[in-house]
Amino acid sequence: MNRALEEIEHQPAILALATANPHNRYAQQEIYDLACNHSEFYRNPRVKQIFMNSDIDFRHLYLDIKKFKGVESTDEMHERFRRGAVEIGKMAILDCLSSGNIEPKEIDSLIVATCTGYLCPGLTSIFIKEIGMRNDVQRADLVGMGCAGAMPALQSAFNFVRARPSRKALVVAVEICSACYYVDESLETIVGNAICSDGAAAVVIGMSNDRSLPRIVEFGTHLEPSYIESVGFEQRDGKLRIILSKDLRDVAGGLASALVDRLTSEFDVRKEDVAHWIIHSGGRKVIDSIQREMGLTDDQIRYSRAVLRDFGNMSSPTVLFVLNELLHKSGPGEQPRPNELGIMLALGPGLAVEGALLRW
């Protein structure tokens, strides 16, 4: 039986959202030149084409490319993750709380998603200490969910608030992809080095009657285990090495469309009724595949392309950067209006498509 949107008026909302990046911002040409300095193979015209035809102009990296020596130990790369994740994650949290006039002591649950490093105790414990949250905050560290990690983190926050309507949950997605910088001659590594970057995003979920805020209606997942080897990380000499099969760009659109069909049909909604598309900027060809399969216009996916152009693929926080573009950078008359619908989509290891239906 289909559910009516009118029956779910009182749903958790996104109360505040902020993003953060390392201070070092580089043009794509600078990052390509860095790779060439450490591997002659990257001077191959085909490799240069992958970098320069990526639709990426700039990326933020938690390293100084003028001092970067190329060959690093596992300990050095791990330390970059630890320092970088804490620094930009804290920046995103503080900006998020400030934008929503929310005090750290008001947060009741903290969920952190990351895949580019491992810490024990995890980032939740570190952020609670750094931000000055209460010592009874519920915590969850979601590790290893890749580019889709922000969505299950949001779902955990959504479930927490729906069960406890008077409380608030904070979600943080933070990645230091430059802690996984690994130069070899495989196509996967080349593509990863050409598109991946560093970033963080923080979101507060809670109840609100403010109709200008997006409320979360429902989440959905579409998992294709037959592609489980197609995307993720593997350990190579103790270092994380990206796995990024070219198959992803061919199947992304179909898998995303299947999930959208399921989400919309549950509420008797047509794709044409969705006013706002918040699609993970996984790469030019991934965006192309989703746009083509679902018949979206250039205007409908402009925020995804803008994030790809200005930031690259930051893994888990990327889809929240796209949402931030819609909420805070859309021009006059483009802001979401009450009762309009939106769909968020992110793809990650599994192979998984994670989605959410939003309503203003």
Q: What is the pLDDT of residues 74-90, one digit of tens each?
A: 999 999 999 999 999 99
Residues with Cβ within 8 Å of residue 220, at least 6 apart in sequence: 259, 262, 263, 354, 355, 356, 357
Predicted confidence at residue 205, as pLDDT, reads: 98
* Tokens encoding 118: 């491992």
239 beta partners: 236
- Residues lower than pLDDT 70 in the chain: 1-9
Predicted confidence at residue 54, as pLDDT, reads: 97
* Tokens encoding 42: 């990257």
Predicted confidence at residue 36, as pLDDT, reads: 94
Residues with Cβ within 8 Å of residue 299, at least 6 apart in sequence: none
165 burial (CB, 10 Å; 0-12 / 13-18 / 19+) is exposed
Predicted confidence at residue 1, as pLDDT, reads: 41
CA 295/CA 286 separation, integer angstroms: 14
* Tokens encoding 149: 């990690």
Residues with Cβ within 8 Å of residue 173, at least 6 apart in sequence: 112, 113, 114, 149, 150, 153, 200, 201, 316, 317, 320
Predicted confidence at residue 2, as pLDDT, reads: 56
Domains (range + CATH), the chain: 13-206 (3.40.47.10), 212-359 (3.40.47.10)
Predicted confidence at residue 256, as pLDDT, reads: 95
Cis? peptide before 121, omega within 30° of 0? yes
CA nearest 31: which of 63, 65, 54, 62? 65
113 burial (CB, 10 Å; 0-12 / 13-18 / 19+) is buried
214-231: per-residue pLDDT in tens?
999 999 999 999 888 888
